[in-house]
Amino acid sequence: MTTRQVLVTGATGYIGGRLVPRLLADGFTVRVLARSPQKLTDVPWAPDVEIVQGDLHDADSVRDAMRGIDIVYYLVHSMRASGDFEEEESDAARTVAEAAEAAGVSRIVYLGALHPDGEKLSRHLRSRVAVGRILLASGVPTIVFQAGVVIGSGSASFEMIRHLTEVLPYMPAPKWVRNRIQPIAIRDVLFYLRAAADLPPEVNRAFDIGGPDILRYGQMMNGYAVEAGLRQRPIASLPVFTPWLASQWVNLVTPIPRSLAVPIIESLQYDCVVQETDIDGVIPPPEGGLTGYRKAVRLALAKMRDGAVETSWRNSSVDGAPSDPLPSEPDWAGHTVYTDVRERASTANPASVWRVIEGIGGERGWYSFPLAWALRGWADKLVGGVGLTRGRLDPDRLQTGDAVDWWRVERLERGSRLRLRAEMRVPGRAWLELSVEPGEQGSGSIYHQRAIFFPQGLPGRLYWLSILPFHGIIFSGMVNRIVLEAEAETQAEAEAEAANAEQPEG
């Protein structure tokens, strides 16, 4: 039997990043199309797939990616809160549809959005419906799954429910908390996506999919509270909460940035429930049935406790955040560039220093002036940025493309160098680079720290000058605390080894 070739778009996202290893486990040969392949450098399945660089708006790169492909998974969707993303998404869908038909692809699988009929949809829901229609009209057998709120560890919808419930003892809420929603567990979404690869060619239509429970949003929050061991929250529906105002509220009290909160909240303005169950006649439910909401929450919480979250909304691109990598230093000529460079020799071994570097951010913080970092994080939140509350996915280990508070891991040379690109709202582009090398004569280590800022016009220059007085406190504090932390770890290791050596054998 010939191994089937699969192309996955959106493999750097929440759904795609979980689907790829499952396709590999089932024997498919997988190719992924990524605009930024470096984001996949450290994922565990990277060696087992073919990674090609390309953009869905570039017809040539899409055609190249389609060669020899049997099944295409279309798992991309812009979560931007501004701009003409509707036309851009339709253009990308048309590019994929035309390339798939020309390449003789046997099936397209698209994950769209559950939506009511006869309503004036939000721009994001309208765009997803339009993409589905373009793919269905491609001439290639296509299945469109229309899903609502996805519940799983790391999903944006689940994280919004979790943080709203945990942070607020009392919930003043928009009137949409009384709307009916049919959530679906991430494991069931993946089940349907995988099963779609085996469908006969005559299946060419959209299907609603959802879990077994129909709930109001307020019930979902209190269902989470029960599973998390919290008391249920009183919820008051307030008509003054417009979608825009609600997104500001979510931005402030949860890690979800405003750019992501807006499309999520806009989609909650309607009753979003399954209107037909025709999918059962095409793909029978999984063994044991679909996962109920409370069980889905329980499974997500267990994954979080075990540190086994595979993918997260945190690693999605942020609307408006700089995405260009740090230029090589020869390219700096002719540009205004501000830097803050520091280094410190240390008795700590390089491995200890690296562990401190790789564990920076999140709950451990930034090793200097916590109040200043917190205030800067809140300031970023107030202007719609990600702030500090986004945290990090794994407390000890990073991957290229990971989010770390308001930073993004741009380059990772494990054991020696970490470069972070700022995604906070600043008038320019900023990076923070932390590195370690062995000390002279191989004794101890040397810790290097470099902040780099490319200002944008006069506001960028004024911004750098305004924070310059704080650099002596913040950046020097970082150097001192990171080195002290690493030295304490090295000392503890030496004492443990000495204690073990003193113990008599057997």
Report the CATH number that the domain containing residue 56 is assigned in CATH: 3.40.50.720
Please check whether residue 420 lies inside any domain of the structure. yes
CA nearest 388: which of 396, 400, 379? 379
What pLDDT, on the 0 to 100 scale, is given for residue 172? Answer: 67
Mark whether 286 and 410 lie in a shared domain: no
Predicted confidence band of residue 312 (pLDDT cuts 50, 70, 90): confident
End residue of a domain, out of 280, 315, 350: 315
What pLDDT, on the 0 to 100 scale, is given for residue 389? Answer: 80
Mark whether 193 and 275 lie in a shared domain: yes
| Digit-coded pLDDT (tens) for 147-165 | 999 999 988 889 888 888 8
Percentage of residues in the chain having pLDDT higher than 90: 59
Predicted confidence band of residue 67 (pLDDT cuts 50, 70, 90): very high
Mean pLDDT, to the nearest integer, of 444-468? 93
CATH number at residue 343: 3.30.530.20
Mark whether 244 and 390 lie in a shared domain: no
- Among 38-42, 193-197, 224-228, name the most confident range: 193-197
Mark whether 338 and 255 lie in a shared domain: no
Mean pLDDT of the chain: 89
Range from 7-16, 166-175, 378-387, 480-489 carrying the lowest mean pLDDT: 166-175
Range from 199-203, 325-329, 344-348, 437-441 carrying the lowest mean pLDDT: 325-329
Please check whether residue 225 lies inside any domain of the structure. yes
Predicted confidence band of residue 108 (pLDDT cuts 50, 70, 90): very high
What pLDDT, on the 0 to 100 scale, is given for residue 147? Answer: 95
Mark whether 94 and 37 lie in a shared domain: yes
Q: Is pLDDT of 2 > 80?
A: no
Sign of CA dihedral 59, 64, 67, 71: negative
What pLDDT, on the 0 to 100 scale, is given for residue 238? Answer: 67
Mark whether 359 and 479 lie in a shared domain: yes
Q: Is pLDDT of 506 > 60?
A: no
Burial of residue 289, with CB atoms counted within 10 A of its CB: 0-12 exposed, 13-18 middle, 19 or more buried: exposed
What pLDDT, on the 0 to 100 scale, is given for residue 64? Answer: 96
Strand partners for 113: 147
Q: Is pLDDT of 208 > 80?
A: yes
Please check whether residue 194 lies inside any domain of the structure. yes
Q: What is the pTM of this model?
A: 0.85
What pLDDT, on the 0 to 100 scale, is given for residue 422? Answer: 93
Range from 36-40, 90-94, 196-200, 346-350 carrying the lowest mean pLDDT: 36-40
Please check whether residue 207 lies inside any domain of the structure. yes
Mark whether 334 and 298 lie in a shared domain: no
Predicted confidence band of residue 80 (pLDDT cuts 50, 70, 90): low
Please check whether residue 505 lies inside any domain of the structure. no
The continuous run of DSSP H or E covering 375 comes out as helix 370-382
| Digit-coded pLDDT (tens) for 40-62 | 988 999 999 999 999 999 999 99
Predicted confidence band of residue 173 (pLDDT cuts 50, 70, 90): low
Mean pLDDT, to the nearest integer, of 367-393? 85
End residue of a domain, out of 250, 280, 315: 315
What pLDDT, on the 0 to 100 scale, is given for residue 329? Answer: 74
Predicted confidence band of residue 193 (pLDDT cuts 50, 70, 90): very high
Please check whether residue 107 lies inside any domain of the structure. yes
What pLDDT, on the 0 to 100 scale, is given for residue 263? Answer: 78
Q: Is pLDDT of 254 > 90?
A: no
Task: For residue 412, give its domain range.
Answer: 329-499
What six digits make up the tokens of 289?
A: 């049935």
Q: Is pLDDT of 451 > 80?
A: yes
Q: Which residues contact 444 (CB under 8 A, 6 or more apart)?
A: 345, 346, 347, 348, 349, 438
Mark whether 172 and 293 lie in a shared domain: yes
Predicted confidence band of residue 375 (pLDDT cuts 50, 70, 90): confident
Q: Is 506 helix (H, G, I), strand (E, B) or coil?
A: coil
Dist. CA 232–CA 221, nearest whole Å: 8
| Digit-coded pLDDT (tens) for 343-365 | 999 999 999 999 999 999 999 99
Mark whether 273 and 376 lie in a shared domain: no
Specify the number of domains making up the chain: 2
* Polymer length of the chain: 506
Please check whether residue 322 lies inside any domain of the structure. no
Mark whether 282 and 406 lie in a shared domain: no
Mark whether 335 and 461 lie in a shared domain: yes
Predicted confidence band of residue 380 (pLDDT cuts 50, 70, 90): confident
CA distances from 94 to 57, 65, 99, 182, 359 (A): 9, 15, 8, 30, 43
What pLDDT, on the 0 to 100 scale, is given for residue 314? Answer: 75
| Cα–chain center distance at 144 | 23
Mean pLDDT, to the nearest integer, of 316-342? 77
Predicted confidence band of residue 381 (pLDDT cuts 50, 70, 90): confident
More confident residue, 253 or 243: 253
What pLDDT, on the 0 to 100 scale, is given for residue 273? Answer: 92
What pLDDT, on the 0 to 100 scale, is given for residue 320? Answer: 59
Mark whether 59 and 192 lie in a shared domain: yes
Mean pLDDT, to the nearest integer, of 222-243? 80
| Digit-coded pLDDT (tens) for 110-136 | 999 998 888 888 888 899 999 999 999
> C-alpha angle 315/318/321, rounded to 5°?
125
What six digits make up the tokens of 150?
A: 């996805």
End residue of a domain, out of 264, 288, 315: 315
Range from 25-39, 80-94, 321-335 carrying the lowest mean pLDDT: 321-335
Please check whether residue 320 lies inside any domain of the structure. no
